[in-house]
Structure formats: structure tokens, C-alpha cells
């Protein structure tokens, strides 16, 4: 695993998370758990990362490359509804909905890509919903975030 790529991805994830109301107060243990549990993967142009409707068991940080998001149309053809470039999160429904998450689109590499794959396993879920993290969300301004976490 390329340490420089992983460190760069972790810095990007930390910045991304600290801009999200749900993860505004994410503790270091969450990032340490993500670093320990994640793996760096590479995919080639036109390779499918995930299919719409699949159970979402992980999410990704796009370290390098570009992905297309595709959905099925009524006539059975696929339509590209957007592209995602480096420095963005993919598959965040796994993060938001936990075990009830399914993929909303098929993700296909537009070019060679490198991604950090983060499993939504017990360790990541535990760190995400830790007392250290959720206690920061007790103020009235974080009511919606707290309710989303407690619902899991």
C-alpha cells in the first residue's frame, strides 16, 4: 500500500468530515479506525466499482481519477448523471444509512482510478457512534444529527 496516497486520502477525508454537520466533531479515534480498516484499491477505465441496487457495505475516497455515476432509464439504457473527481467521497449511503444502505447508481471508472475503500464494519460503526463523538452532538443545534445517529 502506498503510504503517501493513504496519508493524502486521510487528510482529505478528515477535511471532508469536518465540513459535515453529522461528523463536525469526529474524534481522532474515528480517523485512526478508518486508517486501520481501509485499503487502497485501483481500478481500470470502464471497470465497474459498484452496481445500482447492491448492498452498500463500504464507502470510498477517490484519491486519483474520475468516476461516472450511471442510472438505468425506463427504456433499459444507462444514463450518466454525473462525474466525480479526485478528492471526493463515493458510496456515502453506507455511511449515512448503515446496514440498510443500497447503491443508488452504478459507478464506472472514466479513467484509471485509485480509491481508499473504507468498510462499514463493526469497528468503523463503533467509532462513528462512539460516546466521544455522539456526546458532542447533544446541543440543540445538532438535534437532527443526533437523531440520525440514534436511529441506527
- Contacting residues for 94 by C-beta, under 8 A, at least 6 apart: 56, 57, 58, 59, 101, 120
SS3 content of the chain, % helix, strand, coil (to 5): 40, 30, 30
pLDDT of residue 127: 67
Between 98 and 117, whose confidence is greater?
A: 117
Write the DSSP symbol of residue 1.
-
| Cα distance between the two ends of the chain | 32
pLDDT level of residue 146 (50, 70, 90 thresholds): very low
Higher-pLDDT residue of 79, 24: 79
What would the grid cell of residue 144 be? Answer: 437532527
Longest dimension (CA), the chain: 49
pLDDT digits (tens, 9 = 90+) for 21-59: 545 455 567 677 777 788 889 999 999 999 999 998 888
- Residue 85 CA to residue 26 CA, distance in Å, equals 24
Query: Roughly what angle, to the nearest 10 degrees, separates helices 3-18 and 28-37?
Result: 140
**CA neighbor of 81 nearest in space, from 108, 43, 111:** 108
Q: Are 23 and 41 in contact (CB under 8 A)?
A: no
Say what the pLDDT of residue 33 is.
77
Please give the radius of gyration of the chain, using alpha carbons only, rounded to the nearest integer.
16
Amino acid at each position: 500500500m502506498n503510504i503517501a496516497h493513504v496519508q493524502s486520502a486521510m487528510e482529505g477525508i478528515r477535511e471532508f468530515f469536518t465540513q459535515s454537520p453529522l461528523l463536525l466533531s469526529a474524534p481522532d479515534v474515528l480517523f485512526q479506525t478508518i486508517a486501520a480498516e481501509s485499503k487502497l484499491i485501483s481500478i481500470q477505465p470502464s471497470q465497474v466499482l459498484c452496481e445500482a441496487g447492491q448492498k452498500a457495505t463500504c464507502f470510498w475516497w477517490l484519491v486519483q481519477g474520475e468516476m461516472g455515476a450511471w442510472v438505468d432509464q425506463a427504456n433499459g439504457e444507462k444514463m450518466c448523471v454525473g462525474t466525480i473527481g479526485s478528492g471526493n467521497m463515493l458510496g456515502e449511503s453506507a455511511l449515512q444509512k448503515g446496514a440498510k444502505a443500497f447503491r443508488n447508481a452504478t459507478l464506472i471508472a472514466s479513467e484509471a482510478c485509485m480509491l481508499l475503500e473504507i468498510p462499514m464494519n463493526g469497528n468503523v460503526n463503533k467509532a462513528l457512534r462512539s460516546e466521544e463523538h455522539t456526546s458532542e452532538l447533544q446541543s440543540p443545534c445538532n438535534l437532527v444529527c443526533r437523531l440520525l445517529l440514534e436511529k441506527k
